Amino acid sequence: MRIKSILKALMFLMILILLYINLSAYLTKVAYAENGNNKVKVYGLVFDYYSNTPLCGAKITVAERVLGQQIGQQIYIAETNASGFFEGYVEAFKDYLFFAYYDNPSTPGIDYVPAYREVVVGESPQYLLLSLLPGASINATEDPFFLHDEIAFSYEVKDENGILQRSSSVSQSLEWRSTGNKYRIIPIPANSNIKIEVNVYESVGRGFPGGFQRWRFRIASNFTIPLSDSGFCLKQGECITINLKICRLNVEAYEKIPNLLDGVKSSAEKIGILSLYEKTRIQVGEELLRRAWTYLSQENYINAYADLYESYLTLKDVEDSLSNIFRNSVISVYFITPFIGVTSSALGALLFKGVSRRILTSILIYALLIVILYFVYPGYKIVYEPEYNPMAETPFKQLIVPLLLSSSFIIGLALINAPYTYGERTDRRNISLRSAIAASFSLAAENLKRRKARTILLMSVIIVSVSAFMALTSYSYEGGLIIETLRKTT
């Protein structure tokens, strides 16, 4: 108890010391501001990254940072003189991002890639060195959104040698769909092979990290501009224009949707005959994709977007439907196989009295039904895949189907034939379950031998029951959009 009291006293003392330090720092800032000295000088030099020559007329802007994030707009504070020097003033005891820009208005594009520095300004003057890469610019129009739930996108300039990172140049940005911005200028290094990586984000709901409600996002699409292996290589001050919407349509038309089409085709082939309806939907999606290719070649981007969007929804719906069939077929295998084991053993017991004939008949019926089911139903093939195989992490992962087949038959054979094999103790007043089962099958077997029509009817009922069970467990649900073309009326 005494040790706990000492620890509590030490913790209380440490809290008091921390409070005193924070209060002293705060009072120092307040006193510093009241004396009119809350402005701190920031000065430095801006020069060319390669030639080290000073840049005259470079603009210096600043933006405040809170918790590592930029808040508010950039504020102009200074401009370099003929020697490349600048001098400006900012408020003390804050975290800032300083930017340097230089552009010659006589050229169509940006002449230098903007650079930045992260600085925590205290009460002492700050000296900054900012080197600017010779650059060009890309005018990016429209936005790369394709689906309605995509809410933001980011782009990052990638160069071969990583010089953008070494020079602390501005190379990436994030834009929200709600801003409605349809035009932005992307600075890039001149005389260098570069590409632009674009990430499009979609919302996946709200989360509560740390007790605060926030949106959660994931990457819906990722692609690189240009789509070919080659990159952009522009001279200093040069400028080109790209359309992000068209770039996204080309990505969807020639990469994303064809990959989705190949995936659903492969899944449909694995499922087999049960995917006949899905295969017709796949053909519809493929026809829409081919028509979108024609529209793209004709630069008819509105109709191309409509067909691509419908094709995507169709194929995505088929993918979800096939996933449900995969999952349901694997689950139903664990029910159908024991059911067939019991059914085949019951048929053997009904048809023959002798143990050897009964077992042999049960094996033949069981093997016939399993062979038919194996080629018609996809569950036995899909169960080998790791995500559906409960023994995937064991050395016996390839034995899942043989173990299931053998155990199901043995269980069915034991349930039906055990009453014939083992005796039991009984009395004169009642009959046990074993005797009831044995008597029922014996009477049924005699009746079926005398009445062939009833035998055929019973066999038909059993076959229909098994088929109905397979059909009901293969039910799939489809949801999506129906798009119809409205005819003009006079």
Higher-confidence residue: 487 or 33? 487
Task: Give the residue among 369, 318, 313 at the shortest CA–CA distance from 341.
Answer: 369
pLDDT digits (tens, 9 = 90+) for 321-360: 888 888 877 777 888 888 888 878 877 776 777 778 878 8
Asked whether the beta carbons of 77 and 60 are under 8 A apart, the reply is: yes
Burial of 139 (0-12, 13-18, 19+ CB in 10 A): middle
Instruction: Give 479's pLDDT tier (boundaries 50, 70, 90).
Output: low
Instruction: Give 424's pLDDT tier (boundaries 50, 70, 90).
Output: low
Res. 482: pLDDT tops 70: no
Residue type, position 272, single letter: G
For the question of whether the overall pTM of this predicted structure is more than 0.75, the answer is no
pLDDT score at 301? 92
pLDDT digits (tens, 9 = 90+) for 99-145: 999 988 888 888 999 999 888 888 889 899 999 999 999 999 999 99
What is the separation, in whole angstroms, between the first and last Cα of the chain? Answer: 94
pLDDT score at 315? 93
Asked whether the beta carbons of 236 and 191 are under 8 A apart, the reply is: yes
112-113 and 126-141 beta bridge pairing: antiparallel
Helical packing angle, 257-271 and 301-351, nearest 10°: 10
- pLDDT (mean) for 244-268: 93
Res. 450: pLDDT tops 50: yes
pLDDT digits (tens, 9 = 90+) for 146-201: 988 889 999 999 887 788 888 888 888 888 888 888 889 999 999 889 999 999 99
Task: Region of 143 please: left (phi>0), alpha (psi -120 to 50) or beta.
Answer: beta
pLDDT score at 390? 73
Domains and CATH numbers, the chain: 39-237 (2.60.40.1120), 244-423+431-479 (no CATH)
Task: Give the residue among 178, 164, 108 at the shortest CA–CA distance from 138.
Answer: 108
pLDDT score at 384? 77
Burial of 206 (0-12, 13-18, 19+ CB in 10 A): exposed
With a pLDDT cut of 90, the percent of the chain lying above it is 30
How far apart (Å, rounded) are the C-alpha atoms in residues 270 and 273? 9
The mean-pLDDT minimum among 57-66, 195-204, 318-327, 468-477 falls in 468-477
The mean-pLDDT minimum among 26-35, 83-92, 429-438 falls in 26-35
Asked whether the beta carbons of 129 and 168 are under 8 A apart, the reply is: no
Tokens of 257: 């949707």
Helix (H) or strand (E) holding 41: strand 39-48
* DSSP class of 229: S
pLDDT digits (tens, 9 = 90+) for 278-309: 889 999 999 999 999 999 999 999 999 999 99
Higher-confidence residue: 276 or 49? 49
- pLDDT (mean) for 408-432: 64
The mean-pLDDT minimum among 93-97, 240-244, 479-483 falls in 479-483
Task: Give the residue among 236, 44, 40 at the shortest CA–CA distance from 130.
Answer: 44
How far apart (Å, rounded) are the C-alpha atoms in residues 368 and 366? 5
Across 310-314, 413-417, 418-422, the highest mean pLDDT is recorded for 310-314
pLDDT score at 142? 92
How far apart (Å, rounded) are the C-alpha atoms in residues 39 and 37? 5
Res. 366: pLDDT tops 60: yes
pLDDT score at 296? 94
- What are the residues facing 70 on neighbouring strands? 65
